[in-house]
Amino acid sequence: MKTQKTARTAAIYLAVNGLQCRRGGRTVFSGVSCEARAGDLVHLVGPNGSGKTTLLRVLAGLLPFQAGSIAVDAVPLRAQDIPMTAAFLHAGHQNGLKKILTLRDNCALFYKLMTGETLDEERLYKAADHFNLSLLIDQPVKFFSSGQAHRASLMRFMLVDRPIWLMDEPTVGLDKANRDQLKSMMQQHLAGGGCIIAASHDPLGLPSIELDMTRFEPAHPAEGYWS
Ligand SMILES: Nc1ncnc2c1ncn2[C@@H]1O[C@H](COP(=O)(O)OP(=O)(O)OP(=O)(O)O)[C@@H](O)[C@H]1O
pLDDT in tens, 124-179: 999 999 999 999 999 999 999 999 999 999 999 999 999 999 999 999 989 999 99
Residue 54 Cα to ligand 1 midpoint, Å, equals 6
- Characterize 141-172 residue by residue with b for buried, 16 or more Cβ atoms within 10 angstroms of its Cβ, and e for exposed: beebeeebbbbbbbbbbbbbbbbbbbbbbbbe
The model's confidence at residue 86, banded by pLDDT at 50, 70 and 90, is: confident
The predicted-structure confidence for 184-223, as pLDDT tens digits, reads as follows 999 999 999 999 999 999 999 999 999 999 989 877 655 5
Å from CA of 126 to ligand 1 middle: 35
Residues enclosing ligand 1, CB less than 6 A?
23-24, 28, 46, 48-54, 199, 213
Neighbouring residues of 174: CB distance < 8 A, sequence distance ≥ 6: 147, 150, 151, 182
Percent over 90 (pLDDT), the chain: 74
The whole-model pTM stands at 0.90
Cα–Cα distance list, 123 to 10, 68, 134, 158 (Å):
24, 38, 12, 8
